[in-house]
């Protein structure tokens, strides 16, 4: 009996010891220990893979950018001009169909073997033919090796966009011999993903030390990297909720927090650096043009009433500092974006007049949106509620129909939403990505906008697609957006701010519209 | 229990003379395991049906918007994950895999679900195990103290504490605890299971504290213990509250029994009366509640893991559910179901151990 009470006493003591230990073990600053520099990045994971040929999520692109190199890249956050990376030069033929790239000599993979033209051909063909998420990037592009240091990419029609697509980390060059030993092929039967998720076959500044899609990714500096050695030897990317990210970075448990909302960065300690940049995501409203879906939103005067009735300034305030209004569907970072001076403004009287002219009386419309989705920390729910209130003043009753994103996407993709609230981020930083908003194209169809629905808009789109040279393209895409704003079913609203909080010791951080952050660019103070 | 005035439990078997043929515990276990298998099959069916009833297409959750526009990519993805088969066939394939110990491939991690679970389950077991240990010890101790000091100050204080434990939502408590202990007071470490600079211990059991001890790394052990303390206590608070209340009332009921009075009257020391007479009789209701409460710990871990960035099955389940990763969701469902079954079995066996009048049938 005595033993039993002793056991109980022991257990109690153990529990108390556990509790006591908990309050004693404050951790040292991670970056300071062991002589090596560790960087901890907190972010909300949307990670699926570390196989560059299958990567298409923001977190995955951060990892891909660090581990793999691409033929071309961008200098800092400037996405208007592709610059050499693994290719030392590139040239687009006059008809825009052939892109010739000269391979840089001396670049090596982590295992010391040189990056060859064969690796390039294998990597790009693999992305294209594996039919993974990013394979559309190279749709219809023929990849060939002319000689040991020359690659030609040939498209069926003029493809001036290609130099802007090549910097995408999904098109990172993999060590083809190594990958093939682990099941890599250039068709859907490829089996290399599991291998690429645990080790890396790239030539980038970092290597994968450990990789877990739902909790943590650890990168270590690639000792054989042929470029400038990165400032941090070890980088830990952790999956952390936004609220916890804020506390971690404030206390020095992490050095970078990527997903804080405007409200969350408002009261940050002065010792931290807060970068607020409009993201390249444009949030927009769509009004369905398919008469089978709605008899209300197909009315052009109704769309005009919505466009004039939204209180843009109010939405911008809701989105928080650093956000920007979207004058057109193309975000401000890209060539062809409309100037900020053309930003939309509310015209309540004009909206009421348009509604009266529509002959619809006081219509009721359904607005569908992904309820749990946040874009750069901004939630869709309050945006939708604000729009509902705005349009109420015009005389339009908005029936909010939130749904989980996977459910909401179904109706959106099938063009069944009467009205929808969504966002679009560029697949590559070139305005041609936004041709998808035209009648009969992917996003146009989601708004029930069929081919031939609007001749002027379609013509302006064709002109923009065919324009060559920066000046001509800028003018043509501006014209296309003006036409879209005048006659299209889309109401661009805003670009939410991408807020990045960094410790004072971290230097060189710039938000990048494609890969968010280039870890190798970060310095230490 | 009230008809046994002079003898403390164990109480003589009222059906003496009718000796069971096989060992009753063995028979009981065999029956329960068979039943558990049936239940496990039921769990697979329910999770499969429920996951497929959810409106929404796994393809939409897993492919980018551009890729969704390409029917070839969508078809390729469906074929790769067996989603092009009729539903009943998908279920049969899944069952067939299960019988071979194969839980299928996760759509998000592209690894076998069993590998994913092997990685995440130990983290949750460590967290929930610590919470169970703390709540059993503290909950029972508090309950006994409250009962013995009935209507005194300590009783009232403990009742308020248990009320708080039961009524405060776990996710809120987790946020507040993280804010206060980590951020304000700077007493506890931040996210994760162990300091990132130390790195995890070489994996053996998957339990960070145990692995650190096995590797002889005291620095990792203390870091892991420190990381474990706050989430485990947050998670335990609800069960501590519940156990305190039930222990208190169970002990109070036994304290009023004649045999306890008799034991006291014949001059037995208070400690003997408490442990041998009172607590042993009070344990049956306590164990019932504890079994139920530990099951609920598993649902609590989803929220606690999210706040403390604890890489356990809670996080995995959440991510799997939002990406409609059917094999992963079913794998988690199976694990959680199995845990419930084991706990229930353990509780039933314990009844017999504690109170021999309870016959295992």
* HSE-up of residue B334 (Cα within 13 Å, Cβ side): 24
- Residues B305-357 pLDDT 10s: 988 989 898 888 888 887 788 888 888 888 888 888 888 888 888 887 777 77
Number of helices and strands (H, E) in chain B? 15, 0
Q: Answer yes or no: is pLDDT of A20 > 70.
A: no
Fold of A3-276+499-524: D-Maltodextrin-Binding Protein; domain 2 (3.40.190)
Q: What residues of A are in contact with residue B80 (Cβ under 8 Å)?
A: 188
Is the model more confident about B273 or about A448?
Answer: A448
Query: What is B182-247 written as a DSSP string?
Result: IIIS--S--SSSS-TTT-PPPPSSS-HHHHHHHTT-HHHHHHHHHHHHHHHHHHHHHHHHHHHHHH
Mutate to test the interface with B, among A7, A12, A21, A27 (most CBs of B within 10 A): A27
Cis peptide upstream of residue B10 (ω within 30 degrees of 0): yes
B242, B131 in Cβ contact below 8 A? no
- Residues A27-51 pLDDT 10s: 444 444 445 789 999 999 888 889 9
Mutate to test the interface with A, among B9, B84, B110, B193 (most CBs of A within 10 A): B110
Q: Answer yes or no: is pLDDT of A249 > 50.
A: yes
Q: Does B43 touch chain A (CB under 8 A)?
A: no
Chain A nearest C-alpha distance from B115 (Å): 12
Q: What residues of B are in contact with residue A241 (Cβ under 8 Å)?
A: 306-307, 309
Mean pLDDT of chain A, nearest integer: 89
Q: Does B142 touch chain A (CB under 8 A)?
A: no
Out of A209-223, A389-403, B206-220, B325-339, the most confident range is A389-403
Task: Check CB contact under 8 Å for B323 and A25.
Answer: no
Strand partners, A142: A154
For domain B113-359, the CATH superfamily is MetI-like (1.10.3720.10)
pLDDT score, position B270: 82
Contacts of B285-290 spanning 24+ positions with Cβ under 8 A: B285/B246, B285/B250, B286/B140, B286/B143, B286/B243, B286/B246, B286/B247, B286/B250, B287/B347, B287/B350, B287/B351, B287/B354, B288/B347, B289/B242, B289/B243, B289/B246, B290/B136, B290/B139, B290/B239, B290/B243, B290/B347
Least confident stretch, A320-324, A486-490, B111-115: B111-115
The interface predicted TM-score (ipTM) is: 0.78
- pTM of the shown model: 0.84
Q: What residues of B are in contact with residue A133 (Cβ under 8 Å)?
A: 63-64, 66-67, 73
Task: Check CB contact under 8 Å for B319 and A254.
Answer: no
Residue B248 in 3-state DSSP?
helix
- Residues A477-489 pLDDT 10s: 999 999 999 999 9
pLDDT score, position A25: 37
Structural domain spans, chain B: 113-359
Dihedral sign (CA A245, A247, A251, A253): negative
Task: Check CB contact under 8 Å for A131 and B73.
Answer: yes
Mean pLDDT of chain B, nearest integer: 83
pLDDT score, position A35: 57
Q: Answer yes or no: is pLDDT of A236 > 90.
A: yes
CA gap B191, B189 in Å, rounded: 7
Q: At B11, is the pLDDT very low, low, confident or very high (cuts 50, 70, 90)?
A: very low
Chain B nearest-CA residue for A407: B56
What mean pLDDT is predicted for residues A497-525? 93
CATH architecture of A282-495: Roll (3.10)
Structural domain spans, chain A: 3-276+499-524, 282-495
* HSE-up of residue A453 (Cα within 13 Å, Cβ side): 22
Q: At B21, is the pLDDT very low, low, confident or very high (cuts 50, 70, 90)?
A: low
Mutate to test the interface with B, among A22, A213, A250, A433 (most CBs of B within 10 A): A22
User: CA separation (Å) from A224 to A104, A228, A385, A404, B20?
Assistant: 16, 11, 53, 45, 73
pLDDT score, position A13: 41
Q: Answer yes or no: is pLDDT of A509 > 60.
A: yes
B157, B274 in Cβ contact below 8 A? no
CA gap A262, A314 in Å, rounded: 14
- Residues A414-436 pLDDT 10s: 899 999 999 999 989 999 999 99
- Residues A74-118 pLDDT 10s: 998 899 889 999 999 999 998 889 999 999 999 999 999 999 999
Q: At A447, is the pLDDT very low, low, confident or very high (cuts 50, 70, 90)?
A: very high
What mean pLDDT is predicted for residues B14-22? 53
């Amino acid at each position: 009996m005595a033993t039993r009470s002793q056991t109980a006493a022991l257990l109690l003591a153990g529990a108390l010891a556990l509790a006591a230990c908990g309050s004693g073990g404050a951790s040292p600053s991670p970056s300071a220990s062991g002589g090596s520099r560790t960087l901890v990045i907190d972010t909300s994971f949307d990670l699926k893979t570390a196989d560059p040929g299958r990567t298409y999520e923001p977190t995955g692109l951060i990892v891909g950018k660090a581990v793999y190199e691409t033929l071309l890249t961008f200098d800092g956050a400037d996405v208007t001009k592709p610059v050499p990376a693994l290719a030392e030069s590139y040239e687009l033929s006059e008809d825009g169909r052939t892109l010739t790239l000269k391979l840089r000599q001396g670049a090596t993979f982590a295992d010391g073997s040189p990056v060859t033209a064969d690796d390039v051909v294998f990597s790009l063909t693999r992305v294209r033919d594996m039919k993974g998420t990013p394979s559309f990037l190279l749709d219809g592009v023929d990849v060939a090796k002319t000689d040991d240091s020359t690659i030609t990419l040939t498209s069926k029609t003029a493809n001036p966009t290609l130099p802007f697509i090549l910097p995408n980390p999904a098109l990172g060059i993999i060590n083809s011999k190594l990958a093939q030993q682990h099941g890599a092929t250039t068709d859907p039967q490829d089996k290399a993903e599991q291998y690429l998720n645990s080790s890396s076959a790239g030539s980038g500044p970092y290597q994968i030390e450990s990789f877990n899609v739902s909790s943590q990714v650890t990168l270590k500096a690639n000792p054989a990297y042929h470029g400038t050695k990165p400032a941090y030897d070890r980088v830990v990317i952790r999956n952390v909720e936004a609220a916890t990210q804020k506390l971690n970075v404030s206390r020095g448990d992490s050095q970078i927090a990527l997903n804080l909302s405007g409200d969350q960065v408002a009261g940050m300690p002065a010792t931290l650096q807060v970068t607020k940049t409009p993201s390249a995501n444009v949030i927009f409203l769509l009004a369905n043009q398919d008469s089978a879906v709605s008899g209300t939103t197909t009315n052009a005067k109704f769309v005009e009433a919505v466009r004039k009735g939204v209180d843009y300034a109010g939405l911008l305030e809701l989105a928080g500092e650093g956000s920007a209004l979207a004058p057109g569907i193309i975000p401000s970072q890209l060539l062809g974006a409309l100037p900020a001076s053309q930003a939309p403004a509310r015209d309540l009287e004009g909206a009421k007049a348009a509604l009266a002219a529509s002959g619809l009386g006081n219509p009721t419309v359904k607005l569908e949106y992904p309820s749990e989705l946040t874009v750069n920390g901004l939630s869709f729910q309050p945006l939708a509620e604000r729009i509902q209130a705005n349009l109420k003043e015009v005389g339009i009753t908005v029936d909010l129909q939130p749904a989980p994103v996977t459910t909401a996407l179904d109706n959106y993709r099938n063009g069944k939403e009467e009205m929808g609230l969504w966002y679009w981020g560029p697949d590559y930083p070139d305005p041609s990505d936004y041709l998808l908003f035209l009648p009969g194209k992917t996003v146009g169809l989601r708004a029930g906008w069929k081919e031939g629905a609007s001749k002027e808009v379609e013509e302006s789109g064709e002109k923009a697609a065919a324009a060559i040279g920066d000046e001509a393209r800028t003018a043509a895409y501006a014209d296309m957006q003006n036409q879209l704003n005048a006659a299209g079913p889309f109401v661009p609203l805003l670009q939410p701010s991408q807020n990045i909080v960094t410790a004072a010791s971290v230097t060189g951080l710039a938000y990048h519209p494609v890969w968010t952050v280039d870890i190798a660019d970060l310095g230490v103070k | 229990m009230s008809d046994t005035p002079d003898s403390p439990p164990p109480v003589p078997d009222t059906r003496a003379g009718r000796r069971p043929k096989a060992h009753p515990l063995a028979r009981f276990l065999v029956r329960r395991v068979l039943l558990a298998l049936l239940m496990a099959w039921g769990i697979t069916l329910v999770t499969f049906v429920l996951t497929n009833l959810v409106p929404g297409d796994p393809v939409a959750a897993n492919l980018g918007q551009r890729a969704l526009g390409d029917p070839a990519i969508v078809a390729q993805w469906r074929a790769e994950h067996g989603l092009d088969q009729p539903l009943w066939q998908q279920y049969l394939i899944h069952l067939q895999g299960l019988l071979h110990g194969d839980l299928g491939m996760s759509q998000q991690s592209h690894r076998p679900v069993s590998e994913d679970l092997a990685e995440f389950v130990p983290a949750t077991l460590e967290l929930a195990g610590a919470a169970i240990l703390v709540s059993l010890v503290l909950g029972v101790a508090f309950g006994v103290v409250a009962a013995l000091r009935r209507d005194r100050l300590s009783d009232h204080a403990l009742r308020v504490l248990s009320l708080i434990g039961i009524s405060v939502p776990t996710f809120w408590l987790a946020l507040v605890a993280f804010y206060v202990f980590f951020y304000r007071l700077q007493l506890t470490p931040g996210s994760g299971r162990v300091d990132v600079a130390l790195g995890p211990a070489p994996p053996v059991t998957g339990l960070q504290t145990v692995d650190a001890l096995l590797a002889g790394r005291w620095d990792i052990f203390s870091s892991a213990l420190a990381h474990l303390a706050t989430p485990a206590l947050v998670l335990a608070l609800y069960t501590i509250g519940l156990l305190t209340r039930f222990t208190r009332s169970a002990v109070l009921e036994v304290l009023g029994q004649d045999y306890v009075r008799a034991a006291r009257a014949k001059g037995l020391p208070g400690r003997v009366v408490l442990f041998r007479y009172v607590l042993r009789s009070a344990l049956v209701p306590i164990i019932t509640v504890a079994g139920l409460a530990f099951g609920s710990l598993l649902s609590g871990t989803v929220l606690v893991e999210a706040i403390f960035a604890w890489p356990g099955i809670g996080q995995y389940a959440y991510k799997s559910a939002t990406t409609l990763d059917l094999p992963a969701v079913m794998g988690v469902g199976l694990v959680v179901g199995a845990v419930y079954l084991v706990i229930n079995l353990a509780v039933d066996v314990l009844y017999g151990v504690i109170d021999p009048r309870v016959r295992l049938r």
